[in-house]
Amino acid sequence: MSSSRIEELKRQRQAKVTKRGSQSPYAIVVTVVVSTIYLVLIKHNIYLSTFWIIGILIGITLQRSRFCFAASFRDPIMVGNSSLFKTIILSFIISTIAFFMIQYRTAVINPDYLLTDIPGQLKPVGLHTALGAILFGGGMVVAGGCASGTLVRIGEGYIMQVVVLVGFIIGTVMGAMHFPFWDSILISKAPTIYIPKYLGFFPALIFQLILLGILYLVAHWYDKKNNIMTMQEE
């Protein structure tokens, strides 16, 4: 949506912009380097080569889509915009179905499966989960990005995010150092809850999908209902 005055300003400004050179040579050089590393890794370590390609694909997706975990949880509260939050819910729905397929295999092969047999990150849940979430959430909003967002922006050339990365590394190292403490007072006492163990695999899948669907609808309603201007008029 544009107005005639904006069009006029744009036209004036455009005339002053010097034409930029093509970036294609850089793209070709980077593609060659990436492919070379991939081919070298295939010869030496098939796992590393797979990780390399998956990492590159995730990086491209994150950069091009401007997918930002920090913004997805911050914007609904700050500006009443939940479009990124809805994206997160959608990706949860997709990964729920995909993880169901992966984990269901384990249960079919061995009906008396242990929680440690299940692929994925099954961890104890408790007070430490909430504490960690508050620390991480507060930090990512102040820093202007979560882990992936920070890395993407460093790649784009934001110097400020390098400072964030340094802080991130310091925090991670300190967290690892203090882990035995948290483990002894909270984590080791907390239960690991795996819903399929209680409900069975299919009911758990349906239950989680319904829950995510409700969350999506709530986010959609919230987006329609809320924005800063209407809040100020009221």
Partner 1 sequence: MAEYTLDCLYEACPIPLLKALKQLNKMNIGDILIMHTDHNCSIIHVVEWTKKEGHYIDYIEIAEGEWEIYIEKAK
Residues lying near partner 1 in the complex (CB under 8 A):
1-3, 5-7, 9-10, 13-14, 17, 20, 66, 68, 70-71, 74-75, 78-79, 81, 83, 143-145, 156-157, 160, 227-229, 232
Q: What is the C-alpha separation between 121 and 103, in angstroms, rounded?
A: 11
Q: Whose Cβ is closer to partner 1: residue 2's or residue 24's?
A: 2
- Separation in Å, CA 191 to CA 62, 137, 207, 217: 34, 23, 21, 31
Q: Whose Cβ is closer to partner 1: residue 89's or residue 187's?
A: 89
Q: Whose Cβ is closer to partner 1: residue 114's or residue 229's?
A: 229
Of 231, 215, 233, the closest CA to residue 80 belongs to 231
Q: Whose Cβ is closer to partner 1: residue 143's or residue 204's?
A: 143
- What would the two tokens of residue 105 be? 């295999």
Q: What is the C-alpha separation between 18 and 27, in angstroms, rounded?
A: 22
Q: Whose Cβ is closer to partner 1: residue 60's or residue 125's?
A: 60
CB of 233 to partner 1, least distance (A): 10
Report CA dihedral (200, 205, 206, 210) to the nearest 10 degrees. Answer: 130
Length of the chain: 234
Q: Whose Cβ is closer to partner 1: residue 99's or residue 158's?
A: 158
Q: What is the C-alpha separation between 210 and 195, in angstroms, rounded?
A: 14
CB of 147 to partner 1, least distance (A): 15
Q: Are 189 and 126 in contact (CB under 8 A)?
A: yes
Of 130, 137, 114, the closest CA to residue 187 belongs to 130
CB of 91 to partner 1, least distance (A): 17
CB of 150 to partner 1, least distance (A): 10
> Looking up tokens 């107005």, which residue turns up?
3
C-alpha count within 13 angstroms, C-beta hemisphere, residue 90: 9
Report CA dihedral (149, 150, 151, 154) to the nearest 10 degrees. Answer: 120
Q: Whose Cβ is closer to partner 1: residue 2's or residue 121's?
A: 2
